[in-house]
Amino acid sequence: MPDSSPTLPPSLWAATAEPAPDCPPLAGSEEAEVAVVGGGFTGLSAALHLAEAGTSVRLLEAAEPGWGASGRNGGQVNPGWKILPSAIRERYGADRGERVIRMAGSTCDLVFDLIERHGIACDAIRPGLVFGANGRRALGVIDDWVRDWSAAGADVERLDRQGSADLLGTETYDAVFLDRRGGNIQPLSYARGLARAAQAAGAHLHGASPAIAVEKQGAGWRVRSRAGEVRARWVLLCTNGYSDALWPGLAQAVVPVMSLVAATKPLSGNLREGILPARNAVTEAKRVIVYYRLDAADRFVIGGRGRLGLADEGSDLAHLERVAVRYFPQLEGAEWEFNWGGLVAMTRRKTPLMMRLAPGVLAGLGFNGRGVAMGTMMGKQLAAAVRGEEVDMPLQALERWPLHAFRQLGVTGRIILGGWLDRLEAGWRGTRS
């Protein structure tokens, strides 16, 4: 662990966010009922829900709230999980499955309710999230989503080629899945707003405070940082794709994958004309996706895993910009102002993990690129578990990804192969670079 704390990397969100709350480093010896490690949506939401319930909580963040994926993502409030409700039912059984589906289906409500209740200024809008599809496989995926989520009572719809072109202003897709639960936020402002709300409720948040050891002490735990320690009955590890060696095996539960984002300067006139008229958040039902939206100042923001995974940032950024112009030819003349990247945490079975690592030590992570809403919900679930309340999220033992050291290669290989298969199935239409 380096002596100095990492600073927030430059990005569109860092340049336009609400000011950061004051989070002094941990100093000296403190006590709390709960020590939270990691200040992204998961840790911040856990701290907020605990503090609101009257439980004393101290959060340790290595850098500053929102420094990780939470302050760098696409800001798309994405409903549900990566796997279908019917697959959730198969995985967890009928009763538990229903509870998980209800919980997964309510994650966006949780985000927008918190924003409203705490007056969080983060450019929140809720025009719906759209999944675009080309080719037989992707169309089958969106049909399954419409069937499963309609049956679960969600406000979702399939739009055909013309309907999707009218909605999005691009003729890229054969059909789309419109999920009206979703929307957009400025993610770093949302993280900072959660942090302020947690502080207002009584939580102590410490920035520049990496947890460097978690040690058993009596009936509880001692979490050590560089200049202080917290003694707590409970420890919540919320470090997601940035998990280090703090808890043996935790980093092996997920495979971190770099996702890159690029944003234009604010668009106006001919450049802005016709692009995402309803301001939807858009992602795709392919194997290798891009996701895009407008920000509050009409910048076009596009992200994706590119073609090469972690391999070649320059080429992946150029790829994103080419895709943007292919989908919206009017972007040909746009100037690109920002680019940045962050780590998404993938899990072996494509579901988030809530794990009991030892008595009093829980971890919640692995959102497979859909953690704005589900990370917020995970924090709430972790808080409920600590308080002995009913929890919807299945609580399991530590699940390591077998042959973890080779998974990074495997994921990169899958991205390359997946991109080829997507293009093949779409008849080389709509996805060529």
Ligand X SMILES: Cc1cc2nc3c(=O)[nH]c(=O)nc-3n(C[C@H](O)[C@H](O)[C@H](O)COP(=O)(O)OP(=O)(O)OC[C@H]3O[C@@H](n4cnc5c(N)ncnc54)[C@H](O)[C@@H]3O)c2cc1C
Binding site for ligand X (CB under 6 A): 37-43, 60-63, 67-70, 72-76, 78, 210-211, 238-242, 244, 246, 259, 261, 291, 303, 341-344, 365, 367, 369-373, 375
Residue placing its CB nearer to ligand X in the complex, 88 or 135: 88
Q: How far is the CB of 191 from ligand X (least distance, A)?
A: 7
Q: How far is the CB of 335 from ligand X (least distance, A)?
A: 21
Residue placing its CB nearer to ligand X in the complex, 38 or 394: 38
Q: Which amino acid is at 91?
A: R
Q: How far is the CB of 288 from ligand X (least distance, A)?
A: 14
Residue placing its CB nearer to ligand X in the complex, 151 or 311: 311
Q: How far is the CB of 188 from ligand X (least distance, A)?
A: 10
Residue placing its CB nearer to ligand X in the complex, 78 or 135: 78
Q: How far is the CB of 176 from ligand X (least distance, A)?
A: 17
Element (H, E) at 125: none
Helix (H), strand (E) counts: the chain: 12, 19
User: Which two tokens mark 348?
Assistant: 């072996």
Q: How far is the CB of 152 from ligand X (least distance, A)?
A: 19
User: Rounded CA gap, 74 and 102, in Å?
Assistant: 25
User: Which two tokens mark 345?
Assistant: 């945490």
Residue placing its CB nearer to ligand X in the complex, 69 or 176: 69
Produce one character per residue of 123-132: b if its CB has 16 or more CB atoms within 10 Å, e if not.
bbbbbbbbbb
Displacement of CA 341 from its chain's centroid (Å) = 13
The β-bridge relationship of strands 204-206 and 57-60 is parallel
User: Rounded CA gap, 152 and 4, in Å?
Assistant: 48
Residue placing its CB nearer to ligand X in the complex, 135 or 375: 375
Residue placing its CB nearer to ligand X in the complex, 371 or 430: 371
Element (H, E) at 30: strand 28-37
Q: Which residue's beta carbon is nearest to the bound ligand X?
A: 371
Element (H, E) at 255: strand 255-264
Residue placing its CB nearer to ligand X in the complex, 175 or 223: 223
Q: How far is the CB of 29 from ligand X (least distance, A)?
A: 17
Q: How far is the CB of 160 from ligand X (least distance, A)?
A: 25
User: Rounded CA gap, 217 and 224, in Å?
Assistant: 12
Residue in 222, 193, 185 with CA at minimum distance from that of residue 78: 185
User: Rounded CA gap, 257 and 146, in Å?
Assistant: 28
Q: How far is the CB of 45 from ligand X (least distance, A)?
A: 8
User: Which two tokens mark 159?
Assistant: 């739009």
Residue placing its CB nearer to ligand X in the complex, 207 or 220: 207
What 3 state SS string does 378-412 have? HHHHHHHHHCCCCCCCCEEECCCCCCHHHHHHHHH
Residue placing its CB nearer to ligand X in the complex, 38 or 135: 38
User: Rounded CA gap, 111 and 174, in Å?
Assistant: 31
3-class SS at 216? Answer: strand
Q: Which amino acid is at 4?
A: S
User: Rounded CA gap, 209 and 26, in Å?
Assistant: 6
Strands (E), 280-379: 281-284, 290-294, 300-304, 336-346, 353-358, 361-365
Residue placing its CB nearer to ligand X in the complex, 7 or 150: 7
Q: How far is the CB of 5 from ligand X (least distance, A)?
A: 9
3-class SS at 18? Answer: coil
Q: How far is the CB of 270 from ligand X (least distance, A)?
A: 27
CB of 267 closer than 8 Å to CB of 408: no
